[in-house]
Amino acid sequence: MDIKFDLNGQSVSADVEPRTTLADCIRNNFGQTGTHLACEHGVCGACTVLVNGEAVRSCLMLAVQVQGDQVVTVEGLSGDELTPLQAAFRKHHALQCGFCTPGFITTAHALLSHEPGADEERIRDVLSGNLCRCTGYVPIVEAVLEARESYRGSGSK
């Protein structure tokens, strides 16, 4: 099936099988491999992307379902510089192997964009849907808490 959508600000099109997940489409059709696939059944959160500004699991969506939508992956969040959220992750050592990091970054970005006043409890609740096996949860929460400031006032991204 022919699909057309907006990927990280660029209009893109592809011919995909209906069974192709959004995650596979982003990685295989467009070479944007920042979206990581681990469990492929909606448990780990590594493949989180933004669809029309909302965090979703791209392994639990079909590519054909984003026809006409705006999709943003971790690649779409920053230009040449790290975003304040990404910089906070580096500062707080909020990653070790880094596999889960794109999912945490996209999820935290969506949360802070919608709720820049999120408190630690809310941040922990939202991030509970993402797995990190290097056990970096504490520094991840610290990084997100620090990045909140950059989402206040002038807005997101």
Partner 1 sequence: MKPPIFEYASPSTVAEAVALLASKDGNAKVISGGQSLMPMLAFRLATPELLVDLKHLKNLDAISIGEDGVRLGAKVRWCDIESDARLAVSHPLLAEAIKHVAHYQIRNRGTVGGSVAHADPSAEMPGIAMTCGARMTIVGSAGARIEAAADFFTGPLQTSLQPDEILTEVHLPPWPAARRWAFLEFARRKGDFAMAGIALHYDLDGAGRIVDAHVGAIGVADRPIRLAAVEAMLNGNRLDDRLIAAASAKARQSVDPPSDIHAPGAYRAALVATLLARGLKKSAV
Q: Should residue 67 be labelled a site residue for partner 1 when binding is judged by CB under 8 A?
A: yes
Q: Should residue 100 be labelled a site residue for partner 1 when binding is judged by CB under 8 A?
A: no
How far, in Å, CA of 74 to CA of 81, rounded?
Answer: 13
Q: Tokens 């099109």 identify what position? A: 13
Binding mask 120-139 for partner 1 (x = CB under 8 A): -----xx-xx----------
Q: Which is nearer to partner 1, 39 or 97 (CB)?
A: 39
Q: Which is nearer to partner 1, 81 or 121 (CB)?
A: 121
- Per CB under 8 A, the list member of 88, 111, 140, 143 interacting with partner 1 is 111
How far, in Å, CA of 52 to CA of 135, rounded?
Answer: 31
Structure tokens at 145: 């808490």
- Kindly indicate which of the ranges 28-36, 58-66, 70-78, 90-98 contains the residues binding partner 1, using the contact rule CB under 8 A: 58-66
Cβ count near 114 (within 10 Å):
14
- Give yes or no for a contact between 104 and 123, defined as CB atoms under 8 angstroms apart: no
